[in-house]
Amino acid sequence: MIPRTLFSPEHELFRESVRTFLEKDAAPFHAQWEKQGHIDRSLWSKAGEAGMLCSHLPEEYGGLDADFLYSAVVIEEISRLGLTGIGFSLHSDIVAPYLLHYGSEALKHHYLPKLISGEMVTAIAMTEPGAGSDLQGVKTTAVLDGDEYVINGSKTFITNGYLADLVIVVAKTDPKAGAKGISLFLVEADTPGFAKGKRLEKVGMKAQDTSELFFQDVRVPRENLLGQAGMGFAYLMQELPQERLTVAIGALSSAEAALQWTLGYTRERKAFGKAIADFQNTRFKLAEMATEIQIGRVFVDQCMALHLDGKLDVPTAAMAKYWATDLQCKVLDECVQLHGGYGFMWEYPIARAWADARVQRIYAGTNEIMKEIIARAL
């Protein structure tokens, strides 16, 4: 196997602490969280105390000013343990950067320390009942009225939506301007007119609190606009490569974990007097998966290296997201098959990982959209 050279000894020490935290404070409770439809709110505060949230943020806001690899470690360890209910990456690596890059100093000093500590849970409200990957089609509006914006509309499939204390809302400030009419707003969950709908019952990722959000004459101060009005779509495009990279990182770690579970199972399980792993078909399937995962690992690690240097472009991030999630689904399907009937039992981690994986090819932009992005750059 090709050794990984991206992570320093300091990163690996952090990995050990993250793994210990997750094994103690999350893994034993995840099955219960799947039943209740969300993780316990207290886990966010514990993660904040452990330095697992928004570690990349500057020290002036309470962060560690760490590089992206610390975030990658958290993503990998959560995925390796199959803890898909934990929405730390969306909070730290997707929402926080918008606030850091486009928020005023007043907003950053007010909110970022609370994101780092876990006092506030965040979400980003892009998708609508009639607009998914096509963000230009959002119908939610934000109309300037004096010193306030009035927001009206609805969102769906919002990760962290049920527990969220602070939401970035994608809205049209100029409905006639297409992509140039989109803006981003910070909305606190207790703002009058803001309501959370039911937690959505999903095929997988059952412990992740995915909700509908509704906005009826929600008034927010003009200062809650992130950056400039009409620049929201441009901001989204600038931040999406990191979002798609985080998906790819998690997908590869999930596939690696599935292969390890399957290696263990096929060596112990017997059929016709010998271990499943001793059949040539099994050995060849395992060899194919190990090879493809290794190829994916090298590519995704290279994408992380590019990202650290600020050189990960939109098409390459799209390649990583599309290829890694397609591979993840392929590997998990093969692993379920090698588990036989037990692979379809919810008590086995491979079954839950298989169900959890399918949405990866849909969110953060469908893989069909990823291919369109790649094709346009050829």
- Homologous superfamily of 233-377 in CATH? Butyryl-CoA Dehydrogenase, subunit A, domain 3 (1.20.140.10)
Which pLDDT score, from 0 to 100, does residue 114 have? Answer: 98
Q: Determine contact, residues 28/44, Cβ cutoff 8 Å.
A: no
Phi and psi, residue 230, nearest 5°: 85, -5
Q: Which fold has domain 9-120?
A: Butyryl-Coa Dehydrogenase, subunit A; domain 1 (1.10.540)
Pick the catalytic residue: 76, 128, 243, 256? 243
Read off the pLDDT of residues 112-168 as tens digits, 9 standing for 90 and up. 999 999 999 999 999 998 876 667 789 999 999 999 999 999 999 999 999 999 999
CA 337 from centre of chain: 27
Contacts by residues 49-52 (CB-CB < 8 Å, ≥ 24 positions apart): 49/117, 49/118, 50/17, 50/18, 50/21, 51/17, 52/18, 52/21, 52/88
Q: Residue 150 pairs with which residues in a beta bridge? A: 143, 219
Length of the chain: 378
Which pLDDT score, from 0 to 100, does residue 132 have? Answer: 67
In angstroms, the CA 314 to CA 244 distance is 9
Which pLDDT score, from 0 to 100, does residue 130 have? Answer: 80
**Which pair of tokens denotes residue 252?**
């590869």
Phi and psi, residue 104, nearest 5°: -70, 165
CA angle 102, 57, 314 (to 5 degrees): 60
Element at 275 (helix H, strand E): strand 274-275
**Distant-in-sequence, close-in-space partners of 43: CB < 8 Å, separation ≥ 6:** 25, 26, 86
Query: What is the share, in percent, of the chain residues with pLDDT greater than 70?
Result: 99
Domain boundaries defined on the chain: 9-120, 123-228, 233-377
Mean pLDDT of 301-328: 97
Read off the pLDDT of residues 89-114 as tens digits, 9 standing for 90 and up. 999 999 999 999 999 999 999 999 99
Domains 9-120 and 123-228 share a fold: no
* CATH 1.10.10.10 applies to domain 123-228: no
In angstroms, the CA 193 to CA 217 distance is 6
According to DSSP, the β-strands at 141-145 and 148-159 are antiparallel
| Residue 232: pLDDT over 90 | yes
Integer-rounded Cα Rg, in Å, for the chain is 21
Mean pLDDT of 52-59: 97
76 in catalytic set: no
